[in-house]
Amino acid sequence: MKTIGILAGMSWESTQCYYQIMNRTVQQILGGYNSIEAIIYSVNLARLDQNDWSSINKELIEIAQKLEAAAADFLIITSNTAHKAFNAIEEAVKIPLIHIADPTIFDIQKSGLKKIAPLGTKVTMEEKFYIDRLTCQGLEIIVPPSKERETIHKIIFSELIKGKISEESKETAQRILEELKKDGAEGIILGCTELNLLIDSSDLPLFDTTTLHAEAAVNYSLDLSENDRS
């Protein structure tokens, strides 16, 4: 079993989901007393200047290198938005990184769907580092309108990363999903690792990046292929 280096804590709400999913997946596959081998570096989100990605890149690189030095065999970043630093981190370490979008793309392609709407922070929904990774695999991306992007972003930072979920926000999320369906979306990417706390059902297929990424990490740790995923 390979040791997973977990660059975590953005927010801790998603980190605990990852930890639970990965350990339960290992249990399902191996049984007995088996659990993951992992090193977690939990980042204090408050100290990252979200308007200065040069500084964020530098800090996340340093953390990734610490995980590598601590004998992690590969890395995952438990945040879609933080994958804006993925290329910089990948260049700075010698161990592999599993990109959060890749197992999601695999699952979407397996489903045969083409028109997909990503939900997440404004950075994730608007910037090329994430959208281009989807479109280069032949997916047609339907991005929510500006007002809805702002609403989702606000819910993530005012509620979800603090472990809060209001009924009003749940209703708002469902309304946005309905609008995306009308716009032609065939499926929804939960492209923020806290969104599974808010959205757990929809008329459209949901592709939860948290679960898919966590399961992919277990697969890699156990040398299983995507098709072996439990």
Residues 6+ apart with CB under 8 A from 110: none
**Residue limits of CATH 3.40.50.1860 in the chain:** 4-99+211-228, 101-208
| Tokens matching residue 131 | 């959208």
Residue 228 class from Cβ within 10 Å (0-12 exposed, 13-18 middle, 19+ buried)? exposed
Tens-digit pLDDT profile for the chain (230 aa)?
999 999 998 888 889 999 999 999 999 999 999 999 999 999 998 888 777 999 999 999 999 999 999 999 999 999 999 999 999 999 999 999 999 999 999 999 999 999 999 999 999 999 999 999 999 999 999 999 999 999 999 999 999 998 899 999 999 999 999 999 999 999 999 999 899 999 988 999 999 999 999 999 999 999 997 655 44
DSSP class of residue 71 equals T
Interatomic CA distance for residues 193 and 161, integer angstroms: 9
* pLDDT for res 75: 98
Give residue 50's pLDDT: 76
Q: Kindly tell me the sign of the dihedral angle through the C-alpha atoms of 120, 124, 127, 133.
A: negative
Nearest to 81 by CA among 11, 165, 184, 1: 11
pLDDT of 227: 55
Per-residue model confidence (pLDDT) at position 230: 42
Assigned fold of 101-208: Rossmann fold (3.40.50)
pLDDT at residue number 10:
85
Give me the amino acid identity at 27.
Q
**pTM, full prediction:** 0.93
| CATH among 3.30.420.40, 3.40.50.300, 3.40.50.1860, 2.40.10.230 for 4-99+211-228 | 3.40.50.1860
